[in-house]
Amino acid sequence: MDMESLDAAVDKSLQYYRRAAGKGPVRMDDTWVSVKDLQDSLITLREILRSGETAEVRQTRIQETFDVYQSTGSDGKNTILFTGYFEPIMKGALNKSREYRYPVYKAPDDAITVNLGKFRDRYNNEQLIGRVKNGELVPYYSRSEIEDQAALSGRNLELAWVGDRIDLFFLHTQGSGKIELADGRLLQIGYAKSNGRPYRSVGRFLLNEGKVSPQEISYQAIKRYLREHPDDLSEILGYNESFIFFRVVEQGPVGSIGEILTPGRSIATDAAVFPRGSLAFMRARKPVLDREGNALSWIPFSRFVVSQDAGGVIKGAGRVDLFCGSGGEAEMLAGSLKEQGELYFLVKKRAD
């Protein structure tokens, strides 16, 4: 990939680290790494890549300058499952109409976040989201209650309206997007909050129900099945009880470190395992696609990436999500990318 995209991604992590300067060290294998170590790693790599030296010299300098930590993966055998995600662009409006009748909701005031660590130390970093009913905290409304039973209707929570329920569902799974208004303006929306319900894969539901075979399961196959079976939408989409609320943002998409993501460079990882903002190198395969998004062949690829986002299903040392960009081409690539590979984190060696 081009150097400009790596420059942009590095700049975003450095901005994040300037805000995080007072935070304590993070664990990297059996070593504690400071925020300054992570900053210096990004700055030094960029200096090496910009040096104008031959590729062979640059590679030697990188090997001499950095400690490399390979992710053990979920299986302990260094295997990483790489998937892709993207930013949807949908047509919509600020007011409901016959064409645009599916609401994009902002976070409701009665969705209460409970930090369980305040009650028991053993639940530190765990939380629940619910609502108060008859003096009792109960789970917040599910996707089915919100979409099919209009649990939030009439509360003036609509940020915008869109015309496609299926595309809206996948906007929820991506967590951010753009809504194209009739006058050409783009309304940028980002993740605000969830309803706290568990995420459950509709792809897994279709597999378990025998609707799609293991050989054909893919993002495209799931979307195609949903379009061909409109009468089953409520049951299938409702299987995933998780529901996302959005907010209007000036620019985006914004990752979990609070910075704009860079296509092809930003990755989502589990922050409990990998340091936020940190420099990494990935190896995997990617598809060569036709115009319909079908994979014609697979080719190896490798590149420097930066850990700048998180995801509800990106858990543990064996899962990485690559941000593929915005719009239709990014959607096709993200929907096809599901490959095993390797992930290495680079930290500048300390002077003896």
pLDDT in tens, 28-86: 777 888 999 999 999 999 999 888 888 899 999 999 999 999 998 888 889 999 999 99
DSSP H or E run through 298: strand 295-309
What does the mean pLDDT of the chain come to?
92
Dihedral (CA of 286, 290, 293, 297) sign = negative
Residue-level pLDDT at 20: 79
Residue-level pLDDT at 166: 97
* Number of Cβ atoms within 10 Å of the Cβ of 120: 9
What is the pLDDT confidence band of residue 22, given thresholds at 50, 70 and 90?
Answer: low
What is the pLDDT confidence band of residue 350, given thresholds at 50, 70 and 90?
Answer: confident
pLDDT digits 0-9 by tens, 290-321: 887 778 889 999 999 999 998 877 888 999 99
Percent of the chain clearing pLDDT 90 (strictly above):
74
Q: Tell me how long the chain is.
A: 352
pLDDT digits 0-9 by tens, 274-292: 999 999 999 999 988 888 7
Going from the N-terminus, what domains does the chain have, and what CATH number goes with each? 3-85+256-348 (2.40.40.10), 103-248 (2.40.240.50)
Q: What is the pTM of this model?
A: 0.84
CA 219 to chain centre: 15
Query: Residue written as tokens 């894969």?
Result: 201
Cis peptide before 253 (omega within 30 of 0): yes
Amino acid found at 138:
V
Beta bridge partners of 229: none
**Burial level of 48, CB count in 10 A (0-12/13-18/19+)?**
middle
CA 227 to chain centre: 24
Give the span between the Cα atoms of 324 and 334, in whole angstroms.
Answer: 6
At 111 the three-state DSSP class reads coil
Give the span between the Cα atoms of 59 and 132, in whole angstroms.
Answer: 58
What is the pLDDT confidence band of residue 23, given thresholds at 50, 70 and 90?
Answer: confident
Dihedral (CA of 32, 36, 41, 42) sign = positive
Tell me: pLDDT of 117 over 70: yes
Give the span between the Cα atoms of 321 and 314, in whole angstroms.
Answer: 7
What is the pLDDT confidence band of residue 27, given thresholds at 50, 70 and 90?
Answer: confident
pLDDT digits 0-9 by tens, 133-160: 999 999 999 999 999 999 999 999 999 9
CA angle, 56 as apex, 304 and 352 as ends, to 5°? 75
